[in-house]
Structure 1
Amino acid sequence: MSHVRKAFRKRCLTIAAAAVVTAVVAAPAQADTTVAEVTAKAETPTLFDDAAGGEATADDPAVWRDSNDPDKSLVLGTAKVGGLRVYDLAAHEVQSLPAPKAPSAEDEPGRINNVDVIDGANLAIATDRGRDKLVIYSIDRDRAEGPVKDVTAQNAAPYIFSADQDEVNEQATAYGLASWKDRKTGRIYAVVTQELNNQVALLELTNEANGTYGYRKIRTISFPSTFTLPNGTTWTPCEEPGEQPYLEGMRVDAANGMLYAGQEDVGLWRMRADLTGEPTLIDKVRDYGVPATWDPDSEECVPGEDPGFGGTHLTADVEGITLIDRPGGGGHVVVSSQGDSTFAMYDRDPAKGNAYVKSFRVVAGQGEGAIDGAEGTDSLEIVNQSFGSAYPQGLAVIQDETDTPTVTGDDGEPRDGTNYKYVDLRDVATATGLSFR
């Protein structure tokens, strides 16, 4: 979520009707609460979305690793109405794919929001927030016209949440995404969240003609929107009128079929990736349970007294989620705490309650030409494998909502820019004192 959108919503809460959710797993009392600091090794070109001629906003990255030649691996980054960008390991742009066109001048255009790479399939899946659909891409590093190609079968790509184009134009559409290949069946699935609502849908990719792909919906569920507090009262996060506490950042652990999902104003959830069973709230945002009321004049929520039921590691919004796979098993779930520009790390093992481990942030480097830090991060991707000479022990790609230094447009006004930072995973291991090997 952008800073503009975040400022508009603020942290707002209101008392509402009851609902019961699975108990929160408490972080261990001895957990280290200090925040480690790392710097970026490279950054992609700045993207702009403003009156000065920009048409793109960086949002969500995914990494495609070339197993035959890791030095030739690619980073895919969504650019919203600007489509999809493709970068090499030096953070240079190698391809730009436009967002799908609107059906007519009166309809919403495509808006590529989240993207995932499917391991072992040379495919990427993205949510088209503008048209309420998935877009499927094939990846071939040696393709002459560009390594990434749209292979969506339009006749097999239905709306995900909308009944018709009129509903699509209301933009309660496909938003967050987590996709994976089932290790037993080889089938490819995607879990997709709905903007403005607490709905989540499970989809399965389908093979269509001439190497194209479509998808079908299996089921849709609702995440909790009202919560029973320890003092017996109930609480619902305050949203703009007509909205529900919705989700965006997600990741599936294909090794055990678990989905990790971030409900932006609530916290981090875990549940079965097939969307059966009940979700478990692993950790809460700091202002969980704080009552507030919506003020229509200021278009903000006015918070009341904090009853003290919130967590200590996540500051809303809860955004991007990724995994650090450790060879031989184990690893970490990493979550973007957008409100304080940190990344919280949890034990990957559900049997250990996904206990909190450590947090880190990406700060500005020192000296002339140093790369700035990452602020207000929407999403990130971490791959704990060798990428050759550039990142021999793994790569973290992190969205920066406020790229600096600020660029001034022809009108003399500052242009708000976004981009992606590349961080050497060895630096994260050193700063946090954790082993990823």
Structure 2
Amino acid sequence: MPFARLVLAGASAITLAACATVAPVPTVPVMVTAETAPAGATGDAADDPAVWRHPTDAAQSLILGTNKQEGLVVYALDGSERQRLPIGPINNVDVRQDLGSAYDIAVASNDTQGISVFSIDRTTGEVKHVNDVPTGKTEPYGICLGKSGNAGVAGVTYKDGTIELWELDGEADGVTGTLARSVKLATQLEGCVFDEVNGTLVIGEEAHGVWSLAYMDAASVPVEIDTVAANNGLVADVEGVSIWRGQDGKGWIVASAQAADRYVVYERQAPHAVMGVFTLVANTQAGIDKVTHTDGLDVFSGALPGYPRGILVVQDDGNPNPEQDQNFKLVDWAMLETALGLPVLEAE
């Protein structure tokens, strides 16, 4: 069954519209719950995760993680490796389910090929490389995947500050893409996430801060959510961004503040109040080291075995030493809610 198209057109100039900020908040520790096997390469290898929930058996859910020296690594929820797809240097990955196909779809930013597309079998969980959609622009860096009804749209970010929106069309045996819109920010971008309910695309500008773009509106311009200069806990590099999705458009945005080994949580809806700042500390009982220098991250707000309130998955730069056996760490969202005193919301 083919994807339907989501039409996004036009280009826009950028104006800076700063949101109100709040006073800095204390940084609280949260213990890591579990971890994956290493990504499988020394040096700077692991980069970004994405969570896929099995439609009928949550215990078979998966974590997709990029190894930017090799390709895609697929893990079970217990952290064991399930698959390895050595397709080349991919950087970021994202998943959206129920896009009108018999298969779920993941996309990754491929340094040399553009948008790498993967199918995920909704029964077996098998991940396959479908094909690549060339973007025609040097080194796609970050990526995120959104949906509207049965439509798929990929956001692709670049080091020159550009974010492109690509309409996706096709089936599990081949996907094509059409460039629908391009927006330019001042400096290097990477992480992004679609908030379909609120009609926004959240973007991380590494040296500057976090932005929101009303991507359904062709005349929209990016609006600041937070900046490094605002001193709310965010520092460069602003790396991964994701969303815990509650009902009625409520929930929380999580952004990685890489150089400080911490994360900032914002209210999902404008004016995006800062809800807390946290670090991820070692789980000594389980023999799991702390998390440092996180690049990409993903949040899943549905119930999973052992994670009734959802899960946060983050890249860990050192396991335990910097750029050695990099892997991905798992965090029980309920522990984050408690540590930060977040209101307990119903999941989307």
TM-score exceeds 0.5: yes
CA RMSD for the aligned pairs? 2.1
Quote the Cα distance in structure 2 between the aligned partners of 1:49 and 1:95: 15
State the partner residue of 1:356.
274
Q: Does 2:240 correspond to 1:320?
A: yes
Deviation at 1:382, TM superposition (A): 1.1
Q: Does the CA-based 8 Å contact 2:317-2:323 persist in structure 1?
A: no
Q: Which residue of 2 aligns with 1:382?
A: 299
Is the partner of 1:373 in helix, strand or coil? coil
- Is 1:263 the counterpart of 2:197? The answer is no
Report the TM-score, using the length of structure 1 for normalisation: 0.71
CA displacement at 1:98 relative to structure 2: 0.6
Paired residue secondary structure (1:421):
strand
Q: Of the candidates 322, 330, 348, which is equivalent to residue 422 of structure 1?
A: 330
2:152 aligned with 1:188? yes
Q: Which AA in structure 2 matches 1:124?
A: A
The 5-angstrom pairing of residues 5-404 of structure 1 reads 21-29=15-23, 33-47=25-39, 49-50=41-42, 57-99=45-87, 110-121=88-99, 122-131=104-113, 133-140=114-121, 142-143=123-124, 147-152=126-131, 157-158=133-134, 160-162=135-137, 172-183=138-149, 186-195=150-159, 197-207=160-170, 211-223=173-185, 225=186, 245-274=187-216, 276-286=219-229, 310-350=230-270, 353-367=271-285, 369-388=286-305, 390-404=306-320
Give how far 1:328 is off. Answer: 4.7
Kindly provide the CA deviation profile for residues 229-267 of structure 1, in whole angstroms up to 9, marking residues without a partner as x: xxxxxxxxxxxxxxxx21001111010210110100011
Q: Gaps (5+ residues) in structure 1?
A: 1-18, 100-109, 163-171, 226-244, 287-309, 407-413
Cα separation, 2, equivalents of 1:113 and 1:77: 9
- Contact 1:348/1:354, CA 8 A, preserved across alignment: yes
Distance (whole Å) between structure 1 residues aligned to residue 302 and residue 151 of structure 2:
24
- Whether the aligned pair in 1 keeps the contact of 2:249 and 2:269 (CA below 8 Å) is no
Q: Which amino acid aligns with 1:333?
A: I
Structure 1 or 2, whichever has the larger Rg, is 1
What's the secondary structure of 2:259's corresponding residue?
helix
Cα displacement string for residues 168-217 of structure 1 (whole angstroms, at most 9, x for unaligned residues): xxxx311111211113xx2100110113x111111011116x73212111
Question: For the residues of structure 2 that align with 1:312 and 1:65, how far apart are their CA atoms?
Answer: 33
Q: What displacement does 1:72 show?
A: 1.0
* Residues 87 and 49 of structure 1, relative CA distance in 2, 3 Å threshold: closer
> Which structure has more strand as a fraction of its residues?
2
Contact 1:48 / 1:416 at 8 angstroms: preserved in 2? Answer: no
1:267 and 1:327 map into 2 onto residues whose CA distance is 26
- Secondary structure, in 3 states, of the residue corresponding to 2:318? coil
Contact 1:324 1:436 in 2 (8 A): no
Q: Are the structure 2 counterparts of residues 34 and 401 from structure 1 closer, same or farther at C-alpha, using a change threshold of 3 Å?
A: same
Counterpart secondary structure, 1:68:
coil
8 Å contact from structure 1 (residues 323, 331) kept in 2: yes
Q: C-alpha distance in 1, partners of 2:207/2:255?
A: 14
Q: Percent identity?
A: 35
In structure 2, distance between residues paired with 1:430 and 1:194? 36
Rounded to whole Å, the distance in 1 between the matches of 2:262 and 2:323 is 24
